[in-house]
Amino acid sequence: MIHKHIDYYIKHLHHDIPSGIVVFLVALPLCLGVALASGAPLFSGLIAGMVGGLVVAWLSGSQLAVSGPAAGLTVIVFNAIESLGSFSGFLTAVVLAGVIQLILGFLKAGVIGAYFPSSVIKGMLAAIGLILIMKQIPHAIGYDASFEGDESYMQETALSTVEQLAESVSSISPGATIVSVVALLLLVLWESNFIKRIAFLRLIPGALLAVIWGVAYNAVAIRVAPEWAIGSKHLVSLPVTENPKDFLQLFSFPDFSFLANPQIYTIAFTLAVIASLETLLSLEASDKMDPYKRVAPTNRELKAQGVGNMLSGLIGGIPITAVIVRSAANINAGGQTKVSAFVHGLALLVSVMFFANFLNDIPLSCLAAILLQTGYKLAKPKLFIEFFHKGWNQLIPFVITIVAILLTDLLKGIMIGIVMGLYYVIRANYHASISMTRSEDRFVLTMNKDVSFLNRALLRKFFNQIEENCTIVIDGSKAQFIDYDILETIHDFMLSAQDNNIIVETIDLEGKEKIKTLPDSRGAAT
Q: What is the CATH number of the domain that holds 490?
A: 3.30.750.24
Range of the domain at 439: 433-516
What's the confidence (pLDDT) of residue 164? 62
How far apart CA 378 and CA 329 sit, in angstroms, is: 10
Regions of the chain where pLDDT drops below 50: 1, 146-157, 512-526
Q: Is residue 409 part of a domain?
A: no
Alpha helices in 333-409 (DSSP H): 339-354, 356-359, 364-378, 381-390, 392-407
For residue 150, the model assigns a pLDDT of 43
Largest CA distance in the chain: 107
Instruction: Round to whole Å and give the CA distance between 517 and 342.
Output: 69
**Same-domain status, 70 and 200:** yes
Q: Could you tell me which residues are beta bridge partners of residue 437?
A: 444
Within a domain: 414: no
Pair (368, 466) in one structural domain: no
**In one letter, which amino acid is 317?**
G
Q: CA–CA separation, 373 vs 325, rounded Å?
A: 12
Shared-domain flag, residues 265 and 332: yes
- Residue 400 resides in a domain: no
One domain for residues 370 and 460: no
Do both 448 and 373 map to the same domain? no
Do residue 364 and residue 444 come from a single domain?
Answer: no
Q: Are residues 349 and 493 in the same domain?
A: no
Are residue 240 and residue 351 in the same domain, yes or no? yes
Indicate if 298 and 158 belong to the same structural domain: yes
- Global pTM reads 0.69
- The structural domain count of the chain equals 2
In a domain, 21, yes or no: yes
Residue 365 · residue 51 · CB < 8 Å:
no
Burial (CB count <10 Å: 0-12, 13-18, 19+), residue 125:
buried
Domain boundary among 332, 347, 378: 378
Do strands 320-323 and 66-69 pair parallel, antiparallel, or not at all (unpaired)? antiparallel
Both 230 and 167 in a single domain?
yes
Pairing verdict, β 471-475 and 503-507: parallel
CA-CA distance, 340 to 353, in Å (whole number)?
20
pLDDT of residue 514: 37
Q: What is the pLDDT of residue 52?
A: 97
Answer yes or no: is 415 within a domain: no
In a domain, 29, yes or no: yes
